[in-house]
């Protein structure tokens, strides 16, 4: 059983640029959610994808967007990067069905915006 993998692991961008982060979900999982974790904070929910559609969104502006593909992998895109976007971006997969959602996290993509 493969876990959640994310790429790239680290990247540096400058203000105003755009970034795409990628995530492969754990086998058997059909739902992907993205979180932003700033230093010293808990993960903050960005959005969730199920059946290739966004079905939940946190308090993030529209310049944060995403996709889910038929194989359940996902992308997070951030346009017009700001300094405050510097954070660890975590992808988590889960199975939407019966029972509580238990998330399996990837190791994250650490973004630095200069």
Partner 1 sequence: RKEVEQDPGPFNVPEGATVAFNCTYSNSASQSFFWYRQDCRKEPKLLMSVYSSGNEDGRFTAQLNRASQYISLLIRDSKLSDSATYLCVVTMFSGGYNKLIFGAGTRLAVHP
The piece of 22-30, 47-55, 59-67, 78-86 that touches partner 1 (CB under 8 A) is 47-55
Closer to partner 1 by Cβ: residue 16 or 56: 56
- Give yes or no for residue 50 binding partner 1 (CB under 8 A): yes
Edge-to-edge strands, sheet with 5-7: 5-7, 19-24, 74-78, 64-68
CA angle 110, 75, 47 (to 5 degrees): 85
Does position 95 interact with partner 1 (CB under 8 A)? The reply is: no
Backbone φ and ψ for 5, nearest 5 degrees, come out as -120, 140
**Which residues of the shown chain bind partner 1 in the complex (CB under 8 A)?**
33, 35, 40-45, 48, 50, 55-56, 90, 96, 100-108
């Amino acid at each position: 059983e493969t876990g959640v993998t994310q790429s790239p692991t680290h990247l540096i961008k400058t203000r105003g640029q755009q970034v795409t982060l990628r995530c492969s979900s754990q086998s058997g999982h059909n739902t992907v959610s993205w979180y932003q974790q700033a230093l010293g904070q808990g993960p903050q929910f960005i959005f969730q994808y199920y059946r290739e559609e966004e079905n939940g969104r946190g308090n993030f502006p529209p310049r944060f967007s995403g996709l889910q593909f038929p194989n359940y992998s996902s992308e997070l895109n951030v346009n017009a990067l700001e300094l405050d976007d510097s954070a660890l971006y975590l992808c988590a997969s889960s199975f939407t069905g019966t029972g509580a959602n238990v998330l399996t996290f990837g190791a994250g993509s650490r973004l630095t915006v200069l």
